[in-house]
Structure 1
Amino acid sequence: MMMSSADIFISTAQKFLCCGNKKKRLPRSQCLDIAAQILAVDLGLKPALLYDSNAACAEQLQQYVTSLKEAGLLSTSLQIFSIDGNTLVVNSELMKSQLAELLQKKSFIIVDVCPLREQPNISGLECRTEDMVKDILEFLCKMDTHSVCVVGEELYGQWNLCTLFGILLGYPASYWFDQTQGFENCLNMTPLMVNKVWVCWQTSDKRHYSCIYSFSVPEMLWSDMYSHIEQWTEALKEKFGKQSVLTELSFLKETVILPYVTL
């Protein structure tokens, strides 16, 4: 009996992504969620996935995506990108295209959340952000496609990683704070508009729903950022319509107030 594509995703995750107690396999639901996230990157719905499903290392992720590509389940040669202990699965061609477009259009929205501010504010850090995007784009163009690509501290030590990850993950806006002054921010007890994007992956026996985007913006800045986020939403809808693997695209918003916000 032939295995379904979902079964292959599950068995591949359980083979390569288990850590610690090797006898304890990843649960089926977790394997399916990882698969849906990987498919979203492969299909070009998002440029990268920040892998935090378990403690699997970058080399394990490399084995996982390579095996899926060899099995014919991925159309793109996804790359593994490691920065300061964080592992990303990257659609490098899409990423390079989006970063180049950001530089061309200078369409950065950076929200300054330094703790000394009374409230968050749209930042004027375009030049600093542009330099960082140029650096990461240059690095991506030089990456070895057959191995894990590790960014050295000589590069990432100059970057604001909070801002960088927002850009790499394809969010329409990113946070910034002065990390030379610490890692606090002014978002505590500030109403935040949390935006989530959900999709459905129809496996052979059930529908599996997965959140492929989750980002927040301060509610007080929502009207200033609305048109930009709407453009991002329409672009995502257009990409979604060009594929048929994932279905039921939906956008959810809710306002939350948290006593402490970690970025």
Structure 2
Amino acid sequence: MDATTEQWKKITIATFGKRSKVHWRQAMMDILFVDLGLKPACLFDHWLADLKSMHSYLMSLYTECLVSKKLRVVAIGMDVIVYESCWLKSCFHAEFVDISSNLHQPSLITAKEKVAQTADVFKQWCSQCHNPASSLECDEIVTSDSVNIPTLFGLFLGYPCVYWYDQAMGEDNNLSSCSLRLFQVKGCVKPGALPHNEGHSCQKSSGVSKSSKFSYVLKENKTACSVVYSFTVPENIVESVREKVWLWYTAWEQSVPWSSLFSSVWMQEESVEPGAVCL
């Protein structure tokens, strides 16, 4: 383990304690994906973290030059999302999938009025974040009964297909009885990748200002692959959205700076058996 990776581990455990010992490396990669611009946000689900501790953690990473940007954090209910405001896109073109429990099977939503209130909450948040006068780094989205939390998560994460369900029918969904198509965007990590950030200058105790360097991977792991995106689409509608999903991936591959971390990237898809789906 190199010194920079060891520093990540030290700061993580110092902030979150023993509960972070198992998954600190996965958390590191998720946060770096956001910092590098490979994804707009990550839903932090590696261990329970509150808004205050996550904000303190992100500031420590920035102070120690382990990330290049002052990443922001927002709480939605009991969950926290780490994001970089400039990557959030309020003009989204996602397909919405109705998975309400009263439906026999999932279906594409054509009447956008169903998701309008949730989409408006996301658009307003993006507008607030993109305001040059905004100093918002740590805050909470207070939702109403009309706002669908899984849909809001999907919009933050930038998925091409986003789930929605009618909350008047309860919190259940119909995914447990249908086959799903799993799409995953993966990258083969460069051994010893050291992306440089020219915009963030780090002032160390020596008083010498220097450009920060980020040691994102273990140098001894020459075949490491990481999952950048992972989402599902119900099999019964996959043919209706597959072209759009692959166009989304192509646009991602051509527009984000993945080569700073990965030697190659690809998207794969496979069928997965019905089971409990956590939204």
Could you say whether these structures have the same fold, taking a TM-score greater than 0.5 normalized by the shorter chain as the test?
A: yes
1:159 deviates by 0.8
1:130 deviates by 4.0
1:113-124 equivalences under 5 Å are: 113-124=99-110
Q: Which of 112, 121, 125 is equivalent to 1:139?
A: 125
SS class of match (1:216):
strand
Q: Which of 26, 33, 39 is equivalent to 1:40?
A: 33
1:110 is aligned to: 96
1:195 deviates by 1.1
Conserved 8 A contact 1:10-1:32: yes
- Does the C-alpha gap of structure 1 residues 141 and 241 become closer, same or farther in structure 2, counting only changes over 3 Å? closer
TM-score by length of 2: 0.80
1:1-263 equivalences under 5 Å are: 4-18=3-17, 24=18, 26-27=20-21, 30-95=23-88, 98-99=89-90, 101-102=91-92, 107-142=93-128, 145=135, 147-153=137-143, 156-199=144-187, 200=189, 202-207=217-222, 208-241=224-257, 243-263=259-279
Structure 1: unaligned runs, 5 residues or longer: 19-23
In structure 2, distance between residues paired with 1:64 and 1:246 = 25
Conserved 8 A contact 1:189-1:257: no
Conserved 8 A contact 1:43-1:243: no
% identical equivalent positions: 24
Q: What is the CA RMSD across the aligned residues, in angstroms? A: 2.2
2:207 is aligned to: none
Q: How many correspondences in the alignment? A: 246
Structure 2: unaligned runs, 5 residues or longer: 190-215
Offset from partner CA, 1:58-103 (integer Å, 9 cap, x none): 21111111111112222222101001111000111111xx11x22x
In structure 2, distance between residues paired with 1:118 and 1:249 = 37
In structure 2, distance between residues paired with 1:229 and 1:110 = 12
Conserved 8 A contact 2:181-2:271: yes
Offset from partner CA, 1:29-79 (integer Å, 9 cap, x none): 622211111011111111111111112222111111111111222222210
1:10 deviates by 1.4
Q: Which amino acid aligns with 2:52?
A: E
SS class of match (2:260):
coil
TM-score by length of 1: 0.84
1:163 deviates by 1.2
In structure 1, distance between residues paired with 2:255 and 2:12 = 27
